[in-house]
Amino acid sequence: MKNIIVLVCGVLFALVVMALPGSVWAEQDNSINIGGLGLVGPDLSASAFIVEYERHMGSGMSVFGRVGVLDYSFDDGWYKEDGDGPGFDIGIRKYMGSNGMKGFYLGGTVGIWTTEWTFTDNDYGTGSIYYRGKGDTTSLKVDIEVGGRFPLGSSPVSLMPSLHVGNFFNIDSTCTSTSVPGADCGNESEVGFYGLLGLSMGIAF
């Protein structure tokens, strides 16, 4: 149910922005951006598929809505967690030295993301699994991004590399034990502070 609510909020935001008076916007001041974010580290791997609708407000400032799906895995040898789930962000970008949506930009977003996850907890490195469980988490995500939009020649298509730094703040979380069915396990998801690299394709219209 939470996943459905998040996706519905994303669609509603896009519809509201698209319904704004057309006379405010110049030609090709709209863009659909499709891409991904990713990170691979010693203990953590994560990826996200994202779709954005972005609209230029003037003077190099844009607003956008983003829907995405996160998939991650954490394993430090003792504790292992796998999770996935959808999310919705709203944000702004400021393009530097430009009156349009091109060149380098600074941006930021806030959003709501939900994840469903499972975990196994090993007995202090002995290799024997002594506890298992599953949970779901609703988080407030705050993100700062640095990136760019670089058109491919004279076409409306652009490449958009980016660097994201942010944090998932736990709003609501539940966890139940599968080792002791029905018991509250008390664990919280490992999803929190992050740094991600991204690459998207923007199509202006």
Rounded distance, CA 187 to CA 82, Å? 13
Read off the amino acid at residue 158: S
Per CATH, the number for 2-18+39-204 is 2.40.160
pLDDT tens for each residue of 81-140:
999 999 999 999 999 987 889 999 999 999 999 999 999 887 655 556 678 899 999 999
pLDDT in tens, 175-184: 988 877 766 6
Per-residue model confidence (pLDDT) at position 21: 47
Whole-model pTM: value is 0.82
What is the predicted pLDDT for the residue at 179? 78
pLDDT 10s digits, 64-80: 999 999 999 999 888 89
Within the chain, where are the H helices? 2-18
Look at residue 32 and tell me whether its pLDDT is greater than 70.
yes
DSSP code at position 24: G
Q: What is the mean pLDDT of residues 50-70?
A: 97
| Closest CA relative to residue 115, chosen from 139, 149, 133 | 139
Domain boundaries along the sequence of the chain: 2-18+39-204
Burial class of residue 159 (count of CB atoms within 10 Å of its CB; 0-12, 13-18, 19+)? middle
Length of the chain: 205
Using DSSP, state whether 171 is helix, strand or coil. Answer: strand
